[in-house]
Every structure is written in structure tokens, then in C-alpha cells.
Amino acid sequence: MTFSLIDKRHISQQVYDHMLDNILNGVWPAGSKLPSENELCLKFGVSRVPIREAIKRLNAMGIAQTRQGEGSYVMMLTPGMFMNSLLPMLVLNRKSMMDILEYRRIVEPENAALAAKNADESDIANIAATIEEINRVGKPALEFAIADMKFHLDIARATKNSLLFNVSNVIRDVMVSYYRKINELMGVDRALKYHQLIFAAIRDRDAEAARRWMQEHIATTIDDVSAKYADEAGETRLKRNKKGMGL
């Protein structure tokens, strides 16, 4: 197994690139356990922080899976996982935000319902661990957005429908940007509440409740985004009118 010490510039990205390269080249094949954080720190010559960030990124993309109390494991790779890099940077204006919310309104309630029917104990444990991570962060930040995306990715995985899971992986980067923007605009308190309600319904095998809570979660977000951008448009018009009046 070959490791290279990491240049101190862009440490997190380089750690992620090295780890991904080891996975793609079969150094860590599907089903294998990743080295421990301590081992990776020694091999790459870095602290725990970039190691953890790289593992979180691999988890969010579905390339690795961290199991509470067991460590992180390499998942079976699919072509959809690597289409993320083909996605253009998305300008998150009102139109693109509403497009994403429309996609979520159509897809995610059924994902939640299907997860309630098909999730196994491992899926339930993964979702619970992700909620713990979300609660730990507890504030709008990239780390929260990545954990937020992982929550929905965990649900997609729990559907046991490979197409639904792969589609979620394909749009992963766009969705992380979206969640970060949403959390900055709206805060995180309501998201935390709905995550708990959705998880409880999935854990209790209540497909109707899982669907209903996800629908409500997305509907309230749509209302808030519409109101937020309407308020901003109103303020812009007011400023223009004042300027026109010489105020």
C-alpha cells in the first residue's frame, strides 16, 4: 500500500483525493474497512481534522459508510457516484432554488415512504447517527449542509432502490450547495425538528407519516423561500423608487 505525505496547501482536498485514488485503484476494495483515523494521520502526516473531512465527503457521496462503533467501510462503486464532477456550478438564485424544491417535492416524500417500508436495522442506525451529527453541528455551515445531504442520502439508500440512490448521488454537490444556502437563509431549527419527525416515522415503519412529514417539511421551505425572495424584490423596488425620487 503506497501513501504520500501531504503538502500543507489545500490539505483536506489532497487527503480526499488520495483516499479516493486508493479506493478507485483497489487498494481499499469494496467491503474493506478503511484504516483508522490514527493510521491515516500517521500515513499522510496530517491532523485528524482533514482526515475526518475527507471521510465525511466520501460518506456523503456514498463511496464510504461510517458505522457507529465499527469504523468506515468502502461501498460498492457505481458510475453515478462519479458524475458529480460533471455538474456545473449552480447559481442559487430564486429560479434554481425553486427548481430544486420542486424536484424535492416530487421525489423525497416517496423516498421517505419507501424507506419506511424497506429500511433495515443498519439503515436505521445510519440515519440516527447522521441526525446526531446534524444536531452536533447545529448551525448553518458547510459541515451542517454535508450532514443534511447525508440524511437525505441515507433515506434514499434505505429505499433499496438503486436508481433513487444513484440519482441522489449524481446531484450531491448541487444539493450540498443548496442546503448551505437554505440554512443560511432560513436557519436550522425547523430542519432539525422535521428530521426527527421523518426519522421517527421511518424507524416506526409508518410510511404515511414519513411521506406526510417530508411533504410538510418541503412545503414550508417552499413558502419561506417564496416569501424571502418576494421580500428582497420588494426592498429592491423600494430602493429604486427612493432613488428615483432623490431620497
Distances (CA, A) of 189 to 134, 141, 144: 11, 13, 12
Residue-wise pLDDT tens for the chain (247 aa)? 445 444 454 688 788 878 887 887 678 988 999 999 999 999 999 999 999 999 998 888 788 999 988 999 998 765 455 544 433 334 567 788 888 999 999 999 999 999 999 999 999 999 999 999 999 888 877 788 888 999 999 999 999 999 999 888 878 777 887 888 888 888 899 999 999 999 999 999 999 999 999 999 999 999 988 888 776 554 444 444 435 434 4
Cα 199 from Cα 186, distance rounded (Å): 21
DSSP label of 33: B
| C-alpha triplet 236, 240, 246: angle, nearest 5° | 145
Strand pairing category for 64-67 and 71-74: antiparallel
Handedness of CA 52, 18, 58, 143 (dihedral sign): positive
Per-position DSSP letters for 89-134, written without gaps between them: PP---HHHHHHHHHHHHHHHHHHHHHHHHH--HHHHHHHHHHHHHH
Neighbours of 228 (CB within 10 A): 15
Q: What are the chain's domains?
A: 11-77 (1.10.10.10), 87-241 (1.20.120.530)
37-44 vs 48-60: helix crossing angle, rounded to 10: 120
